Amino acid sequence: MKYIGIDIGGTNLKAGLVDDRGTVLATKKEKIAQIHNAEALAWAMVSMTQELASAAGVPLDQIKSVGVGVPGTVEIHSGSLLYTCNLPLRNVPLRRLFHRYLHLPLYIENDANCAALAEYYVGAGRDSKRFVTVTLGTGIGGGIVHNGKIYHGSNGMAGEVGHMSIVHNGLDCPCGRKGCWEQYASATALKRMTREAVECHGDSILAQVVAENGGVISGQSAFIAARRGDAVGQAVCDEYIAYLAAGITNLVNIFQPDTLAIGGGVSNEDEECLLKPLQRLVARDSIPCPAEKKTKIVTAQLGNQAGIIGAALLGKKKR
């Protein structure tokens, strides 16, 4: 059987035809700016499904299900999209609209949960039963998988790891709280720390790295400077990794998963510069436990295809 996974991104609606093993066989994308209402979204999902199946020569009755990953809030039982920052739509009964055109099972899920499910089935968590992913991007997304099931909480909103406060009365967060983890350990936070360091140390190698990049600060700038022996760049990396470790240690202590995977652009950084120091801090600070039972901290494996793969595999097993 084959599956369709659809990822509602910031710029594009991306869809993929995926097999049982999570291999993406074909993809399609459509500009999100062209979608103005709920009907258009449902129709885009239907037409992408039909086009992917037909281009791959797969009859529609060989498609087991269609899954949609949404950055925002969803109602999984009714198949509704309640809120997403990427589209001006609220409370969309997506499954009902989709079924006007196409009678395939349709699942809807938060995109961070989709990424977690993808890693659980075919990526960094495939040998684990209890698995947590943390995605470092604009904010910090999280997904908790327990014995093949995404942990949703009572209302479908569980897994918002980015909004655990790690600094009492710390930086303001758009969620309304202060000191949220994502204000300190997201890619956005890393860039802010880098910018502040460049402003204070205009003659540093870090400032030079940024200048060489056309003045653009990236999530890599501090790591590049640190590898060139820059103390300023190294200090930014150390501070960032300390904040990252604070939240990861909390998650390890609370969930004690077999594996915790870190994804997002920052996670592609050199192992010696990011993963190893992070593992050392988490090992030092987490509740003592026998070495063979310790949570393995690893990097995610599926990159930006995790969203499509996870959405597709929502229909793989009874959730």
What is the total count of residues that contact Zn ion (CB under 5 A)? 5
DSSP state of 282: H
- Give min distance, CB of 189 to Zn ion, in A: 12
Verify binding: residue 316, Zn ion, rule CB under 5 A.
no
| Three-class secondary structure of residue 288 per DSSP | coil
Q: How many whole angstroms separate alpha carbon 70 and alpha carbon 74? A: 7
Pick 14 or 163: Cβ nearer Zn ion: 163
Q: Please list the residues that pair with 299 across neighbouring strands.
A: 262
Q: How many whole angstroms separate alpha carbon 148 and alpha carbon 319? A: 7
One of 26, 175, 242, 275 touching Zn ion (CB under 5 A):
175
- Give min distance, CB of 237 to Zn ion, in A: 24
Q: Which stretch binds Zn ion (CB under 5 A): 68-76, 104-112, 179-187, 296-304?
A: 179-187
Q: Which stretch binds Zn ion (CB under 5 A): 52-60, 97-105, 169-177, 274-282?
A: 169-177
Q: Which stretch binds Zn ion (CB under 5 A): 4-12, 39-47, 87-95, 168-176?
A: 168-176
Verify binding: residue 177, Zn ion, rule CB under 5 A.
yes
Instruction: Report residue 73 as tokens.
Output: 């809030």
Residue 316 Ramachandran class (φ > 0 left, ψ -120 to 50 alpha, else beta): alpha
Pick 29 or 178: Cβ nearer Zn ion: 178
Q: How many whole angstroms separate alpha carbon 29 and alpha carbon 173? A: 32
- Give min distance, CB of 188 to Zn ion, in A: 12
| 16-79-300 Cα angle (round to 5) | 45
Cβ-Cβ contacts under 8 Å for 118 (sequence gap 6 or more): 22, 302, 305, 306, 307, 309, 310, 313
- Give min distance, CB of 191 to Zn ion, in A: 18
One of 26, 76, 171, 173 touching Zn ion (CB under 5 A):
173
- Give min distance, CB of 264 to Zn ion, in A: 17
Site string for Zn ion, 117-156 (x = CB under 5 A): ----------------------------------------
Q: How many residues does the chain have?
A: 319
One of 112, 180, 260, 314 touching Zn ion (CB under 5 A):
180
**Helical pair 205-212 and 187-200, crossing angle rounded to 10 deg:** 120
Q: How many whole angstroms separate alpha carbon 157 and alpha carbon 151? A: 9
Place of tokens 């997403």: 84
- Give min distance, CB of 173 to Zn ion, in A: 3
Q: Which stretch binds Zn ion (CB under 5 A): 132-140, 170-178, 186-194, 249-257?
A: 170-178
- In 3D space, the residue among 41, 97, 43, 28 whose CA is nearest the CA of residue 70 turns out to be 41
Q: Which stretch binds Zn ion (CB under 5 A): 28-36, 165-173, 252-260, 261-269?
A: 165-173
One of 2, 95, 130, 163 touching Zn ion (CB under 5 A):
163
Q: Specify whether the CB–CB gap between 15 and 47 falls below 8 A.
A: no
Pick 180 or 244: Cβ nearer Zn ion: 180
DSSP state of 190: H
For binding to Zn ion (CB under 5 A), which residues are involved?
163, 173, 175, 177, 180
